[in-house]
């Protein structure tokens, strides 16, 4: 199941995810590619980024070499903070998550099913599992978005009818951003809102192990 077009870069995927955020949203950015999203959201938009290690008000990444080594996110990446940002104990951070105060969680994933099931804490028996705060975010956030490459390094689809990896949570993912498409997860189908130039629905289906269908424009997961 090889991909025949050049996939979007990580930055291009993050920029597309950033477009979906709205003023006043409190957004958690998961480990890995999701942390790039903050770089593509205008500061004056008023989106409030949360990091589960206890920061509210995360800004864009600092220039290389300019970061404070004591100011990091949950990925241990250097961050900046915006005026009005706050720091607090990790227990309070998880109280925000478990209390339903996070509007959107943008999370990495190993697999996502067309029913919205999320598998992102274990990649198999030969890999070290690490659930971290993913289980809390998956059920505590009002909306869950997944960001991932469309296929594995072995060209196996990550978007599937049924996850074969251990689940983090079932039925929670509302939208997926991959390096080939943007799609809503609805009624057992990936509804495609955008796809990489050069892709057709047929070529996209060939690398997706679940039904895909064209949607109308950008659409909304809200």
Known catalytic residues are: 52
CB distance 195 to 204 below 8 Å: yes
What is the CB neighbour count within 10 angstroms for residue 117?
23
Residue 134 φ then ψ, to 5°: -60, -40
C-alpha span between 100 and 97 (Å, rounded): 6
| Cα-only R_g, the chain | 17
C-alpha span between 91 and 109 (Å, rounded): 24
The label of the residue with tokens 């105060």 reads 101
Nearest to 159 by CA among 192, 113, 199: 113
- Spell out the long-range contacts of 179-184 with Cβ–Cβ below 8 A and sequence spacing 24 or more: 179/7, 179/8, 179/9, 179/10, 179/12, 179/13, 179/149, 179/150, 180/3, 180/5, 180/7, 180/8, 180/150, 180/204, 180/207, 181/150, 181/212, 182/16, 183/212, 183/215, 184/215, 184/219, 184/221
């Amino acid at each position: 199941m090889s991909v025949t077009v050049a996939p979007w870069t990580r930055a291009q995927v993050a920029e597309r995810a950033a477009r979906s955020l709205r003023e006043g949203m409190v957004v958690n950015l998961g480990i890995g590619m999701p942390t790039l999203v903050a770089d593509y959201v205008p500061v004056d938009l008023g989106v409030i980024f949360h990091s589960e290690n206890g920061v509210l008000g995360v800004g864009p990444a600092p220039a290389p070499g300019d970061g404070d080594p004591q100011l990091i996110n949950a990925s241990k990446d250097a961050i900046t903070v915006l005026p009005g940002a706050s720091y607090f104990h990790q227990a309070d951070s998880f109280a925000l998550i478990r209390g339903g105060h996070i509007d959107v969680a943008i999370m990495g994933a190993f697999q996502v099913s067309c029913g919205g099931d999320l598998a992102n804490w274990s990649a198999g028996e030969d890999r070290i599992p690490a659930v971290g705060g993913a289980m809390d975010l998956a059920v505590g956030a009002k909306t869950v978005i997944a960001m991932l490459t469309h296929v594995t390094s072995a060209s196996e689809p990550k978007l599937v009818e049924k996850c074969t990896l251990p689940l983090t949570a079932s039925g929670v993912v509302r939208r997926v951003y991959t390096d080939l498409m943007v799609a809503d997860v609805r009624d057992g189908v990936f509804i495609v809102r955008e796809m990489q130039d050069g892709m057709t629905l047929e070529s996209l289906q060939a690398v997706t192990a679940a039904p895909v269908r064209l949607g109308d424009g950008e659409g909304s997961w809200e």
